[in-house]
Amino acid sequence: MPSAPEAVFCIREDHRAGGQAETSIVWVAAGIETVLVRGQDFYASPRLSPNGQYLAFVSWDHPNMPWNETQLKLVRLDWAAGHPAIAGIRVLVGEDAACSVMEPVWQDQTTLFALSDANGTWQPVKFEKKENWAGAFLPDSGFEIGAPPWVFGHQSLICLRDGGLLTHGVKNGMPHVASFNEDGWRDAHFGFSAAVPLPIGDAFAWLHTPSDAPPSIRIGRDLAQSRVLQTAFTFPDGIGPDDCAHPRALSFPTRDGATAHGFFYAPVDDTALADAAGRPPLIVTAHGGPTAAANPAFSFKVQWWTTRGFALLDVNYRGSSGWGRAYRQALEGEWGARDVTDCIDAVRYICDQGLADPKRCVIRGGSSGGLTVLQCLALSDIFCAGTSLYGVADLMTLVAETHKFESRYLDRLIGPLPATRHLYTSRSPVHHAAQINVPVLFLHGDADQVVPLAQAEEMYQRLKDHGVTTEIKIYPGEGHGFRQAETLRDSFQREYDFYLSVFRGVA
């Protein structure tokens, strides 16, 4: 391979033709782009072997998402002309059976690792070049390694100098770091890490994310033998871990005989809003994605509520990641239905245990979680109010207006159009405004390119016309998810005041 330190392999999105961008893998050297691979809807993770002979990458096509079905491909490169050219290409994983494969990483020029869920959970597969390339799963780790690749660059798997691996995943809902070598799997004792720790000399650096302390960048051999390089923020004087709400991982039965999961946080101040029986109000959070997962790391979005007397339930409804392929796929064809019943069943489970006041249960959610919120309010009477943050209200509008990456996402979550158009209507809260009879707050940015503001405005107007107490706050310049400090301050205070006003009317 020629020496070209200024050259890179990268993913290119070409918007020049209009419509959806054309995606390809390109070699960029001295400002000149050479297209190597094109023809599929999406590419990710181009990884060059140490000797420059091979390029591994992940690809997939609509209507799949990278956590549904992908392929791991290997290109043999010819450098005779001074730049790379394709001398051969083959599919390593994903040609014979549907699976999600991601995060290829080279150990050396003849050994490649990747994560595949072909056996039920994302686990490492080792490919070795002998007479030909052949792959085999490592022994099962006992937890799921990896997370849905919503963004480029996330690392859940790295190769170590001693020939072993270091991995990051989820075990019983909690982040888990483990290593693998010839002796098998073992806990690596890094505490709660946001991603796989990265080697620096004989130590590692990682983002430490406990549930009761600010996130920090640490360096060391493990948590016990580490020091803090940088802390995201500091607690005020007199505030410490004992003043934080801590997550309690729970599993609960669903109405159809399955099991779903979540985190429950008891209020830090359990008397501030308690009823005569000592039960606090409950705020339920429906995460977005919907393939994401509730995260037990320290969160102001949790502590805001628990320090003000609320209990909080963060639901990992079916479709969430961390419990394997079958749990993620359980939401396929059922979005707007199964996530809704799981949230409702979780609340009933908590209230049956006397952990919350059943008359003061509210629900909040952003993006796809906003749809879950509105459907919960339409299809049950268990909540006395709800908040949709930049949430989906009309699925047909979402399909027509969203970006390329998610433009066919609903083919799996709901069904292919036009055959299942009736499901898009029945799962769209905008068509069920008349079934909602409790107060609803809408918080939305006017620059949202994923879920346009018009969705919130139409839902708000329909509820208002129906005589429901409803409010809407539009934040100038905010996109999909709030970023500005003033927006965050206003939105949380506004939501808190909204619930207190609702509670004053609850008998």
Q: pLDDT tens digits for 177-222?
A: 999 999 999 999 999 999 999 999 999 999 999 999 999 999 999 9
Its CATH architecture, for the domain 244-503, is 3-Layer(aba) Sandwich (3.40)
Instruction: Give the pLDDT band of residue 82 (cuts 50, 70, 90).
Output: confident
What pairs with residue 387 in β-bridges?
Answer: 364, 441
- For 60, the token pair is 């997939």
- The predicted pLDDT at position 293 comes to 92
pLDDT average, residue stretch 21-33? 92
Do 8-188 and 244-503 share a fold?
no
Question: Is the model's pTM score more than 0.85?
Answer: yes
- The predicted pLDDT at position 309 comes to 96
- Measured CA to CA, the distance from residue 137 to residue 335 in angstroms comes to 32
CATH homologous superfamily for 8-188? Prolyl oligopeptidase, N-terminal domain (2.130.10.120)
- For 442, the token pair is 């809408």
Instruction: Give the pLDDT band of residue 4 (cuts 50, 70, 90).
Output: low
pLDDT at 1 over 80: no
Domain ranges of the chain: 8-188, 244-503
pLDDT at 69 over 90: yes
Which of the residue ranges 41-55, 394-408, 424-438 would you say has the lowest mean pLDDT? 394-408
- The predicted pLDDT at position 18 comes to 84
- For 268, the token pair is 């830090």
In this structure, are residues 144 and 170 in contact, taking their beta carbons and an 8 Å threshold? yes
pLDDT average, residue stretch 52-73? 96
How far the first Cα of the chain sits from its last, in Å, is 75
Residues 358-378 have pLDDT tens digits of 999 999 999 999 999 999 999
Residues 378-417 have pLDDT tens digits of 999 999 999 999 999 999 988 887 788 988 999 999 999 9
Instruction: Give the pLDDT band of residue 507 (cuts 50, 70, 90).
Output: low
In this structure, are residues 308 and 272 in contact, taking their beta carbons and an 8 Å threshold? yes
pLDDT at 90 over 90: yes
Q: How many residues does the chain have?
A: 507
Instruction: Give the pLDDT band of residue 316 (cuts 50, 70, 90).
Output: very high
pLDDT at 2 over 80: no
Among 431, 411, 419, smallest CA distance to 333 is for 411
Give the burial class of 283: count Cβ atoms within 10 A of its Cβ; 0-12 exposed, 13-18 middle, 19 or more buried: buried
Instruction: Give the pLDDT band of residue 85 (cuts 50, 70, 90).
Output: very high
- In the chain, pLDDT over 70 holds for what percent of residues? 99
In this structure, are residues 166 and 160 in contact, taking their beta carbons and an 8 Å threshold? yes
Which of the residue ranges 287-301, 323-337, 456-470 would you say has the lowest mean pLDDT? 287-301
- The predicted pLDDT at position 183 comes to 92
pLDDT at 350 over 90: yes
C-alpha 122: how far from its chain's center?
Answer: 15
pLDDT at 176 over 90: yes
Give the burial class of 317: count Cβ atoms within 10 A of its Cβ; 0-12 exposed, 13-18 middle, 19 or more buried: buried
- Measured CA to CA, the distance from residue 458 to residue 22 in angstroms comes to 33
Q: Give the phi and the psi of residue 493 in degrees, each rounded to 5.
A: -65, -40
Among 445, 420, 442, smallest CA distance to 430 is for 442
- The predicted pLDDT at position 271 comes to 84
Residues 243-274 have pLDDT tens digits of 999 999 999 999 999 999 999 999 998 888 99
Give the best-scoring range by mean pLDDT among 11-20, 61-70, 150-159: 61-70
Pairing of strands 22-29, 32-38: antiparallel
Mean of all residue pLDDT scores within the chain: 94
- Measured CA to CA, the distance from residue 504 to residue 410 in angstroms comes to 39
Cα–Cα distance list, 238 to 209, 241, 303 (Å): 21, 10, 16
Instruction: Give the pLDDT band of residue 17 (cuts 50, 70, 90).
Output: confident
